[in-house]
Amino acid sequence: MSSNLIEFNNISKSYGSCVSLDQVHFSILKNQIHAVIGENGAGKSTLMKVLTGIVPPSSGAMVLRGKSYEPESAQDSFREKIGFVHQHFQLADELTGWNHLELVARTQNIEKKRLLELVSEKQAKFKWSLPLDKKIKAYSIGEQQRLEILRVLILDPEIIIFDEPTAVLSPDEIEDFLDFMLDLKKQGHTLILISHKLNEIKKVADHVTILCRGQLIASDSGSNFTIEQMAEKMIGRKQQALVQAGVNDTGITHDLNLLGLKLNNNEILGVAGVDGNGQEDFILKLRQNIDLLKLKFGDISEDRFRYSIYPKQDLIENFLIRHRNTFTRLGLVNKKKVRREVEKIITDWDVRPADSQMVMGSFSGGNQQKFVIGRELWHNPDVILAAHPSRGVDIGAQEKIHQALLDQKKNHRAVVLLSSDLDEVLKLSDRFVILFKGAIKGPYLKGSLDNSQISQIMNGVNL
């Protein structure tokens, strides 16, 4: 018979005037897999930070195992047997696996002998064999994740929080991981799963709590939600259907010189694959070849912060530096002409707030991305690279972006859509390839493969 393990009683958290959590009130039962879902900024991470003592709530209280629970630091949460497996690994490249385990062990006064016992015990239980003497930079992504989990397990937590654990895994690895979670549950643990992968949640979650903009929308048994219902509640409205552009038959083909891959200027070519299978290389080669062919290039990069925007400069400057050669004469730049073009982009793409002199960093992720797309399409590129175009962007803007990409086919432009989100790739592409360890498998026509086949190819099976 389950009982309340954790109670969140009207938890609120504000940072200044910004409300992260608003009277969130629900319970987590013992020995269940409890999913907490929501969009970016919904408050999931903040809630977990409150639970693990990293930040205190502004108001409200928590009850743990029937007693009042007010953690003042992460150490308090360890003592209460709560473990947190972070989404972004907190591993130092230059230090060894043992260093990381020692760090955790020594803060909890676990002696070396006991640590060795614990480590071999846990590794045996899950049939792992991590190279603990090696530095992290020698670890694969899967091994890094296992080390992160091991770090948590050696403290024998009763409650384990997993934050977006399958983000970096291939479909088969995801299956393995879901089984792993069920295994943990069988061993008596209580798991909190933070994820936006609704199909995975449907498979393993006993209970689902949905947050939207800091508020609790629903908290109910997993069987009482369909995936569509969960999505709707997450974004606050029904999802819109996409309008598919008609495909032109007459089109130009660009020979991309990438292992014989040819690109048509009236299609979206999808590039699927788990992160770390050669995407960086692919993008680099793509850019180089486009350069060689002297084609005009629209670059919606895979990481906005790293490659597309200058947060401290305003929209005009962000536009100018990208198209600097067009506005330069004799080494001098003409800022006045630029402003007109930027205003147009703001209007056409509904960038909010409509202020060309506001610094880029002040815009939300979705608006930044919309501006970037407007800027990258401004010069009528022949080829457009859209890499992870909806990363860090809420569902509303995501829909606009997807529609925009589909519209490019009408304009006789070729789109290369690279994304680790398989659903996105399959939804938008006319043809697609799959990257596996740097090799390009395909191209396949839309709808020609089922999920199981795709999964196998993503894991290197030659079909």
Partner 1 sequence: MKRIDYSSLIGFIIGVALSSVLVLLFKENPGNVLKVLSGSFLQSKFDMGLTMFYTTCFAFAGLAFSIPFKAGLFHIGAEGQIVLSAMVAAVMGIILPESLGTFGIIAICLTTMVVGILSAQTIAFFKVYKQGHEVVVAIMLNFIFAAIATYVVLQNYQNTESQNPESSLIKPVFQVAKSDSIKAYFENSAVSGFLLVAVISCLAVWFFETKTKWGLEIKAFGENPTAAERMGISAKKINFLALGIAGFFSSLVGLTEVLGSTYQYKVGFSPAYGFLGIVVALLAQGHPIGILFSSFIMAVLHKGASDLDLETQFLTRDFSKVLQAIIIFCVAGAVYINHRRKKS
Partner 2 sequence: MSSEILLGLFLASIRMSLPILFAASGGYFSEKSGVAQIGLEAYLLIGAFTAAAVSFQTHSLVLGYVAAALVAAAFSQIFNILIFKFKANSIVVGTGMNLLAMGLIPIVSKTLFESTGSTPAIDTSDAALNQSLIMVSVVTVSMLAICYWIAEKSSFGLQIKFAGEKSEALTSVGVSYIKRRWQAVTLGALITGVGGAILSTYLASSYSPLMSAGRGFIALAAVIFAGWNLRKAWLVVLLFGFAEAIQIQLQNMNLSVKIPNEFIQMLPYLATLVALLLLRNKQQAPKEIS
Sole window of 59-67, 99-107, 295-303, 375-383 interacting with partner 2 (rule: CB under 8 A): 99-107
Is 91 a binder of partner 2 (CB under 8 A)?
A: yes
The CB-of-18 to partner 1 minimum distance in angstroms stands at: 11
Position among 95, 167, 182, 406 found at the interface with partner 2 (CB under 8 A)? 95
Peptide bond into 131 cis (omega under 30): no
Which residues, other chains included, contact 402 with Cβ-Cβ below 8 Å and sequence gap of 6+?
242, 389, 390, 424, 427, 428
Is 336 a binder of partner 1 (CB under 8 A)?
A: no
Sole window of 75-83, 231-239, 253-261, 385-393 interacting with partner 2 (rule: CB under 8 A): 75-83
The CB-of-73 to partner 2 minimum distance in angstroms stands at: 4
Is 308 a binder of partner 1 (CB under 8 A)?
A: yes
Is 324 a binder of partner 1 (CB under 8 A)?
A: yes
> Considering beta carbons, is residue 81 or 287 the nearer one to partner 1?
287
The CB-of-331 to partner 2 minimum distance in angstroms stands at: 32
**54: partner contacted, choices partner 2, partner 1, none (Cβ within 5-8 A by kind):** partner 2
State the sign of the Cα–Cα–Cα–Cα dihedral 330, 332, 333, 334: negative
Helix spans in 24-170 (H): 44-51, 74-79, 97-107, 112-126, 141-153
Is 246 a binder of partner 1 (CB under 8 A)?
A: no
CA gap 366, 392 in Å, rounded? 8
Residue 29's identity, in one-letter code, is: L
Is 345 a binder of partner 1 (CB under 8 A)?
A: no
What six digits make up the tokens of 132? 């603990």
Position among 67, 186, 312, 336 found at the interface with partner 1 (CB under 8 A)? 312
Residues in contact with partner 2, counted by CB under 8 A, come to a total of 24
What six digits make up the tokens of 63? 């009850």
> Residue 376 is inside which H or E element, if any?
helix 365-377
> Considering beta carbons, is residue 304 or 402 the nearer one to partner 1?
304
Q: Calculate the CA dihedral of residues 399, 401, 407, 409 and round it to 10 degrees.
A: -120
> Residue 336 is inside which H or E element, if any?
helix 335-348
Position among 333, 426, 439, 440 found at the interface with partner 1 (CB under 8 A)? 333
The CB-of-214 to partner 2 minimum distance in angstroms stands at: 23
The CB-of-278 to partner 1 minimum distance in angstroms stands at: 18
Pairing, β 297-300 against β 439-445: unpaired
Q: Provide, for the chain, the percentages of residues in helix, strand and coil under a 3-state DSSP scheme, each rounded to the nearest 5.
A: 40, 25, 35
CA gap 56, 211 in Å, rounded? 19
**237: partner contacted, choices partner 2, partner 1, none (Cβ within 5-8 A by kind):** none
Peptide bond into 443 cis (omega under 30): yes
Position among 2, 3, 4, 107 found at the interface with partner 2 (CB under 8 A)? 107
State the sign of the Cα–Cα–Cα–Cα dihedral 157, 159, 164, 168: positive
Pair 44, 38: CB distance under 8 Å: yes
Position among 90, 129, 140, 187 found at the interface with partner 2 (CB under 8 A)? 90
Residues that bind partner 1 (CB under 8 A): 16, 299, 301, 305-313, 317, 320-322, 324-325, 328, 331-333
Residues that bind partner 2 (CB under 8 A): 53-54, 73-78, 84, 86, 88, 90-95, 99-100, 102-104, 106-107
